[in-house]
Protein backbone atom coordinates (compact mmCIF):
# COMPACT_ATOMS: atom_id res chain seq x y z
CA UNK A 1 0.00 0.00 0.00
CA UNK A 2 2.94 2.38 0.56
CA UNK A 3 3.45 3.00 -3.15
CA UNK A 4 -0.25 3.75 -3.56
CA UNK A 5 -0.13 6.29 -0.74
CA UNK A 6 2.91 7.99 -2.24
CA UNK A 7 1.30 8.05 -5.68
CA UNK A 8 -1.76 9.76 -4.22
CA UNK A 9 0.39 12.33 -2.41
CA UNK A 10 2.12 13.15 -5.67
CA UNK A 11 -1.20 13.24 -7.51
CA UNK A 12 -2.75 15.75 -5.09
CA UNK A 13 0.25 18.00 -4.68
CA UNK A 14 0.63 20.16 -1.60
CA UNK A 15 -2.07 22.78 -2.16
CA UNK A 16 -5.42 22.56 -3.91
CA UNK A 17 -8.66 24.52 -4.28
CA UNK A 18 -11.99 23.47 -2.72
CA UNK A 19 -15.18 25.23 -3.81
CA UNK A 20 -18.95 25.32 -3.54
CA UNK A 21 -18.99 28.21 -6.03
CA UNK A 22 -19.30 25.93 -9.05
CA UNK A 23 -22.78 24.89 -7.91
CA UNK A 24 -24.06 28.43 -8.64
CA UNK A 25 -22.34 28.83 -12.01
CA UNK A 26 -23.25 27.79 -15.54
CA UNK A 27 -21.34 24.84 -16.94
CA UNK A 28 -19.54 27.18 -19.34
CA UNK A 29 -18.38 29.25 -16.35
CA UNK A 30 -17.37 26.11 -14.45
CA UNK A 31 -15.26 24.89 -17.32
CA UNK A 32 -13.51 28.25 -17.69
CA UNK A 33 -12.84 28.51 -13.95
CA UNK A 34 -11.47 24.96 -13.80
CA UNK A 35 -9.08 25.72 -16.67
CA UNK A 36 -7.85 28.84 -14.87
CA UNK A 37 -7.40 27.04 -11.53
CA UNK A 38 -5.29 24.47 -13.37
CA UNK A 39 -3.26 27.23 -15.04
CA UNK A 40 -2.58 28.83 -11.65
CA UNK A 41 -0.77 25.65 -10.61
CA UNK A 42 -3.06 24.24 -7.92
CA UNK A 43 -2.54 20.51 -7.57
CA UNK A 44 -6.15 19.48 -7.09
CA UNK A 45 -9.67 20.81 -7.52
CA UNK A 46 -12.26 19.62 -4.96
CA UNK A 47 -16.02 19.86 -5.42
CA UNK A 48 -18.78 18.82 -2.99
CA UNK A 49 -21.99 16.89 -3.17
CA UNK A 50 -24.24 18.86 -0.85
CA UNK A 51 -27.99 18.57 -0.78
CA UNK A 52 -28.31 21.20 -3.54
CA UNK A 53 -25.14 20.33 -5.48
CA UNK A 54 -24.81 18.82 -8.91
CA UNK A 55 -24.58 15.05 -9.23
CA UNK A 56 -20.99 14.36 -8.26
CA UNK A 57 -20.18 11.99 -11.13
CA UNK A 58 -21.53 14.32 -13.80
CA UNK A 59 -19.64 17.20 -12.16
CA UNK A 60 -16.34 15.32 -11.95
CA UNK A 61 -16.70 14.20 -15.55
CA UNK A 62 -17.20 17.79 -16.74
CA UNK A 63 -14.13 18.97 -14.79
CA UNK A 64 -11.94 16.14 -16.06
CA UNK A 65 -13.02 16.87 -19.62
CA UNK A 66 -12.36 20.61 -19.25
CA UNK A 67 -8.82 20.23 -17.89
CA UNK A 68 -5.62 18.43 -18.83
CA UNK A 69 -3.44 17.95 -15.75
CA UNK A 70 -5.10 18.93 -12.48
CA UNK A 71 -6.40 16.23 -10.12
CA UNK A 72 -10.17 16.35 -9.64
CA UNK A 73 -11.54 15.15 -6.29
CA UNK A 74 -14.95 14.65 -4.74
CA UNK A 75 -15.23 16.31 -1.38
CA UNK A 76 -17.29 14.23 -0.85
CA UNK A 77 -19.52 11.77 -2.74
CA UNK A 78 -22.33 11.16 -0.25
CA UNK A 79 -23.13 7.51 0.48
CA UNK A 80 -26.80 8.31 1.10
CA UNK A 81 -27.20 9.64 -2.46
CA UNK A 82 -26.76 6.26 -4.18
CA UNK A 83 -26.38 2.54 -3.61
CA UNK A 84 -22.80 1.32 -3.03
CA UNK A 85 -22.76 -0.70 -6.25
CA UNK A 86 -23.65 2.47 -8.16
CA UNK A 87 -20.96 4.44 -6.33
CA UNK A 88 -18.36 1.80 -7.16
CA UNK A 89 -19.36 1.70 -10.82
CA UNK A 90 -19.27 5.50 -11.15
CA UNK A 91 -15.79 5.86 -9.71
CA UNK A 92 -14.43 2.88 -11.63
CA UNK A 93 -15.73 4.38 -14.89
CA UNK A 94 -14.04 7.72 -14.24
CA UNK A 95 -10.84 6.05 -13.04
CA UNK A 96 -10.72 4.00 -16.22
CA UNK A 97 -10.94 7.22 -18.25
CA UNK A 98 -8.55 9.32 -16.11
CA UNK A 99 -6.54 6.95 -13.88
CA UNK A 100 -4.05 9.55 -12.65
CA UNK A 101 -6.36 12.54 -12.18
CA UNK A 102 -9.27 11.27 -10.08
CA UNK A 103 -9.58 11.06 -6.30
CA UNK A 104 -12.68 9.35 -4.93
CA UNK A 105 -13.58 11.16 -1.73
CA UNK A 106 -16.45 9.31 -0.03
CA UNK A 107 -18.34 10.37 3.09
CA UNK A 108 -21.23 9.58 5.40
CA UNK A 109 -22.84 13.02 4.99
CA UNK A 110 -24.88 14.74 7.67
CA UNK A 111 -27.77 13.75 9.87
CA UNK A 112 -30.25 16.14 8.22
CA UNK A 113 -29.45 15.06 4.67
CA UNK A 114 -29.46 11.40 5.64
CA UNK A 115 -32.88 11.65 7.26
CA UNK A 116 -34.24 13.68 4.32
CA UNK A 117 -33.54 10.61 2.16
CA UNK A 118 -35.47 8.36 4.54
CA UNK A 119 -32.37 6.75 6.07
CA UNK A 120 -31.80 6.43 9.82
CA UNK A 121 -28.72 8.29 11.01
CA UNK A 122 -27.83 5.81 13.77
CA UNK A 123 -24.41 4.11 13.83
CA UNK A 124 -22.73 6.10 11.04
CA UNK A 125 -19.39 4.32 11.43
CA UNK A 126 -21.01 0.90 11.09
CA UNK A 127 -23.03 2.08 8.09
CA UNK A 128 -19.89 3.37 6.40
CA UNK A 129 -18.09 0.08 6.99
CA UNK A 130 -20.99 -1.90 5.51
CA UNK A 131 -21.22 0.48 2.56
CA UNK A 132 -17.51 0.04 1.81
CA UNK A 133 -17.91 -3.74 2.03
CA UNK A 134 -20.60 -3.58 -0.64
CA UNK A 135 -18.60 -1.16 -2.78
CA UNK A 136 -15.59 -3.43 -2.71
CA UNK A 137 -17.65 -6.55 -3.37
CA UNK A 138 -19.17 -4.84 -6.40
CA UNK A 139 -15.67 -4.12 -7.64
CA UNK A 140 -14.48 -7.70 -7.20
CA UNK A 141 -13.78 -8.09 -10.92
CA UNK A 142 -10.40 -6.43 -11.58
CA UNK A 143 -10.54 -3.10 -13.38
CA UNK A 144 -7.71 -1.53 -15.40
CA UNK A 145 -7.25 1.06 -12.64
CA UNK A 146 -8.91 1.15 -9.23
CA UNK A 147 -9.90 4.65 -8.05
CA UNK A 148 -7.79 6.13 -5.27
CA UNK A 149 -10.13 6.54 -2.30
CA UNK A 150 -10.21 8.87 0.70
CA UNK A 151 -12.86 8.94 3.43
CA UNK A 152 -14.32 12.05 5.00
CA UNK A 153 -13.34 11.78 8.65
CA UNK A 154 -13.38 13.79 11.86
CA UNK A 155 -13.57 11.38 14.82
CA UNK A 156 -10.99 8.76 15.69
CA UNK A 157 -13.19 5.85 14.59
CA UNK A 158 -13.68 7.20 11.07
CA UNK A 159 -10.01 8.16 10.88
CA UNK A 160 -9.01 4.59 11.73
CA UNK A 161 -11.44 3.30 9.11
CA UNK A 162 -9.86 5.71 6.61
CA UNK A 163 -6.47 4.16 7.28
CA UNK A 164 -7.80 0.62 7.00
CA UNK A 165 -10.23 0.88 4.08
CA UNK A 166 -8.93 3.81 2.03
CA UNK A 167 -5.68 5.57 1.24
CA UNK A 168 -6.36 8.15 3.93
CA UNK A 169 -8.73 10.87 5.12
CA UNK A 170 -10.24 14.15 4.00
CA UNK A 171 -11.01 16.54 6.87
CA UNK A 172 -13.15 19.67 6.77
CA UNK A 173 -13.68 22.72 9.02
CA UNK A 174 -10.89 21.77 11.41
CA UNK A 175 -8.16 23.62 13.31
CA UNK A 176 -4.48 22.71 13.11
CA UNK A 177 -4.83 20.82 16.41
CA UNK A 178 -7.18 18.40 14.67
CA UNK A 179 -4.65 17.85 11.89
CA UNK A 180 -2.05 16.85 14.46
CA UNK A 181 -4.51 14.48 16.13
CA UNK A 182 -5.62 13.02 12.79
CA UNK A 183 -2.02 12.31 11.82
CA UNK A 184 -1.42 10.58 15.16
CA UNK A 185 -4.51 8.40 14.69
CA UNK A 186 -3.83 7.62 11.02
CA UNK A 187 -0.15 6.88 11.48
CA UNK A 188 2.55 8.04 9.08
CA UNK A 189 1.51 6.27 5.87
CA UNK A 190 -2.10 7.27 5.04
CA UNK A 191 -2.71 10.47 3.12
CA UNK A 192 -4.27 13.40 5.02
CA UNK A 193 -6.01 16.06 2.88
CA UNK A 194 -7.26 19.03 4.92
CA UNK A 195 -9.80 21.64 3.81
CA UNK A 196 -8.99 25.17 5.03
CA UNK A 197 -11.54 27.96 4.96
CA UNK A 198 -10.10 31.34 3.94
CA UNK A 199 -11.49 34.87 4.31
CA UNK A 200 -9.15 37.35 2.63
CA UNK A 201 -9.25 41.02 3.51
CA UNK A 202 -7.85 43.73 5.72
CA UNK A 203 -11.11 44.62 7.50
CA UNK A 204 -11.03 42.15 10.39
CA UNK A 205 -14.52 42.85 11.72
CA UNK A 206 -16.00 42.27 8.26
CA UNK A 207 -13.92 39.12 7.76
CA UNK A 208 -15.02 37.71 11.11
CA UNK A 209 -18.65 38.39 10.25
CA UNK A 210 -18.29 36.56 6.94
CA UNK A 211 -16.64 33.59 8.64
CA UNK A 212 -19.23 33.45 11.43
CA UNK A 213 -22.12 33.59 8.97
CA UNK A 214 -20.62 30.64 7.12
CA UNK A 215 -19.77 28.70 10.28
CA UNK A 216 -23.22 29.14 11.81
CA UNK A 217 -24.86 26.40 9.78
CA UNK A 218 -22.01 23.95 10.32
CA UNK A 219 -21.96 24.50 14.06
CA UNK A 220 -25.61 23.47 14.12
CA UNK A 221 -24.50 20.04 12.89
CA UNK A 222 -23.56 17.71 15.76
CA UNK A 223 -20.61 16.09 13.99
CA UNK A 224 -18.78 19.41 13.56
CA UNK A 225 -19.73 20.91 16.92
CA UNK A 226 -18.82 17.73 18.80
CA UNK A 227 -15.53 17.43 16.97
CA UNK A 228 -14.57 20.93 18.10
CA UNK A 229 -15.69 20.18 21.66
CA UNK A 230 -13.40 17.14 21.68
CA UNK A 231 -10.55 19.48 20.78
CA UNK A 232 -11.23 21.65 23.83
CA UNK A 233 -13.65 24.29 22.57
CA UNK A 234 -16.49 25.11 24.95
CA UNK A 235 -20.24 25.21 24.40
CA UNK A 236 -19.94 29.00 24.30
CA UNK A 237 -17.28 28.72 21.58
CA UNK A 238 -19.53 26.64 19.31
CA UNK A 239 -22.70 28.68 19.94
CA UNK A 240 -24.13 30.76 17.10
CA UNK A 241 -21.50 31.45 14.49
CA UNK A 242 -18.67 30.59 16.86
CA UNK A 243 -16.45 32.61 19.15
CA UNK A 244 -13.65 34.76 17.79
CA UNK A 245 -11.14 32.22 19.09
CA UNK A 246 -12.88 29.35 17.33
CA UNK A 247 -13.09 31.33 14.08
CA UNK A 248 -9.39 32.18 14.22
CA UNK A 249 -8.58 28.50 14.81
CA UNK A 250 -10.72 27.11 12.00
CA UNK A 251 -10.35 29.86 9.36
CA UNK A 252 -7.40 31.72 7.92
CA UNK A 253 -8.65 35.30 8.32
CA UNK A 254 -6.47 38.09 6.95
CA UNK A 255 -4.04 38.68 4.13
CA UNK A 256 -2.11 36.32 1.88
CA UNK A 257 0.67 35.89 4.44
CA UNK A 258 -1.84 34.76 7.07
CA UNK A 259 -3.25 32.15 4.71
CA UNK A 260 0.21 30.91 3.71
CA UNK A 261 1.20 30.61 7.36
CA UNK A 262 -1.89 28.55 8.14
CA UNK A 263 -1.24 26.20 5.22
CA UNK A 264 2.29 25.61 6.48
CA UNK A 265 0.97 24.99 10.02
CA UNK A 266 -1.25 22.20 8.70
CA UNK A 267 1.66 20.74 6.74
CA UNK A 268 3.90 20.84 9.79
CA UNK A 269 1.16 19.19 11.86
CA UNK A 270 0.93 16.25 9.47
CA UNK A 271 -1.21 17.21 6.46
CA UNK A 272 -0.01 16.04 3.06
CA UNK A 273 -2.35 18.32 1.13
CA UNK A 274 -4.27 21.47 2.08
CA UNK A 275 -7.21 22.51 -0.12
CA UNK A 276 -8.25 26.10 0.43
CA UNK A 277 -11.88 27.18 0.27
CA UNK A 278 -12.57 30.85 -0.34
CA UNK A 279 -15.41 32.08 1.89
CA UNK A 280 -16.93 35.28 0.54
CA UNK A 281 -19.56 37.80 1.54
CA UNK A 282 -23.03 36.48 0.72
CA UNK A 283 -24.40 40.04 1.02
CA UNK A 284 -22.30 41.33 -1.88
CA UNK A 285 -23.47 40.89 -5.46
CA UNK A 286 -19.85 41.10 -6.60
CA UNK A 287 -19.07 37.96 -4.60
CA UNK A 288 -21.43 35.70 -6.49
CA UNK A 289 -20.71 33.02 -9.08
CA UNK A 290 -17.14 32.83 -10.35
CA UNK A 291 -16.28 36.09 -8.57
CA UNK A 292 -16.77 34.26 -5.27
CA UNK A 293 -13.42 32.53 -5.53
CA UNK A 294 -11.34 33.29 -8.63
CA UNK A 295 -9.81 36.69 -7.70
CA UNK A 296 -8.74 35.33 -4.31
CA UNK A 297 -7.36 32.11 -5.78
CA UNK A 298 -5.31 34.23 -8.17
CA UNK A 299 -3.96 36.29 -5.27
CA UNK A 300 -3.06 33.22 -3.25
CA UNK A 301 -1.48 31.17 -6.02
CA UNK A 302 1.89 32.91 -5.98
CA UNK A 303 2.28 32.35 -2.24
CA UNK A 304 0.85 28.84 -2.01
CA UNK A 305 1.56 26.93 -5.20
CA UNK A 306 4.74 24.95 -4.80
CA UNK A 307 4.66 24.97 -0.99
CA UNK A 308 6.89 22.22 0.33
CA UNK A 309 5.68 19.76 2.97
CA UNK A 310 7.88 18.85 5.94
CA UNK A 311 10.61 16.35 5.09
CA UNK A 312 9.40 13.97 7.80
CA UNK A 313 5.70 13.74 8.63
CA UNK A 314 4.78 13.47 12.32
CA UNK A 315 4.66 9.84 13.37
CA UNK A 316 7.04 8.67 10.66
pLDDT in tens, 22-35: 999 999 999 999 99
Q: How far is CA 28 from CA 24, 34, 89, in A?
A: 12, 10, 27
Crossing angle of helices 176-186 and 156-165, rounded to 10°: 50
The predicted-structure confidence for 236-246, as pLDDT tens digits, reads as follows 999 999 999 99
Average pLDDT score over residue span 256-283: 93
Measure the N-to-C terminal CA separation of the chain; round to a whole number of Å: 15
Task: Check pLDDT > 80 for residue 313.
Answer: no
Of 188-192, 292-296, 307-311, the one with minimum mean pLDDT is 307-311
In this predicted structure, the answer to whether residue 283 has a pLDDT above a threshold of 50 is no
The arithmetic mean of pLDDT across residues 181-204, rounded, is: 96
Q: How confident is the model at residue 146 (pLDDT cuts 50, 70, 90)?
A: confident
Sign (positive or negative) of CA dihedral 16, 22, 25, 27: positive
Alpha helices in 67-170 (DSSP H): 84-97, 111-116, 124-138, 156-165
pLDDT of residue 311: 45
Compute the radius of gyration of the chain from its Cα atoms.
18
The pLDDT confidence band at residue 113, using thresholds 50, 70 and 90, is low
Question: Taking 90 as the threshold, does the pLDDT of residue 199 lie above it?
Answer: yes
Indicate whether 145 pLDDT > 90: no
So what's the pLDDT on residue 291?
57
Name the percent of the chain lying above pLDDT 70: 88
SS (H, E, C) 245-269: HHHHHHEEEECHHHHHHHHHHHHHH
Cα 3 from Cα 27, distance rounded (Å)? 36
Q: Looking at per-residue confidence, does 86 or 120 come out higher?
A: 86
Question: In the structure, what pLDDT confidence band is assigned to residue 122 with cuts at 50, 70 and 90?
Answer: confident
What average pLDDT score do residues 138-166 get?
90
How many other CB atoms are there within 10 angstroms of residue 117's CB atom? Answer: 11
Split at pLDDT 50, 70, 90, the class of 284 is very low
In the predicted model, what is the mean pLDDT of residues 149-173? 98
d(CA 209, CA 224): 19
Residues with Cβ < 8 Å from 80, sequence gap 6 or more? 108, 109, 113, 114, 117, 119
Name the pLDDT band for 109 (thresholds 50, 70, 90).
Answer: confident
Amino acid sequence: MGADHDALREQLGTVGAWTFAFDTMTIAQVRAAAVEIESLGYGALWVPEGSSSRDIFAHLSILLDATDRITVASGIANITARQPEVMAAGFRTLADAEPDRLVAGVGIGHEYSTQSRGIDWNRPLSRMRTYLDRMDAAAAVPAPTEPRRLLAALGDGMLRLSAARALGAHTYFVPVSHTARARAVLGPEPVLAVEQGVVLGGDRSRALRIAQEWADGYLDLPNYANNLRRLGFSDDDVAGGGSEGLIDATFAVGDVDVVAARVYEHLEAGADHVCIQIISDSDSDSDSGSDACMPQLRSLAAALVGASPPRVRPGA
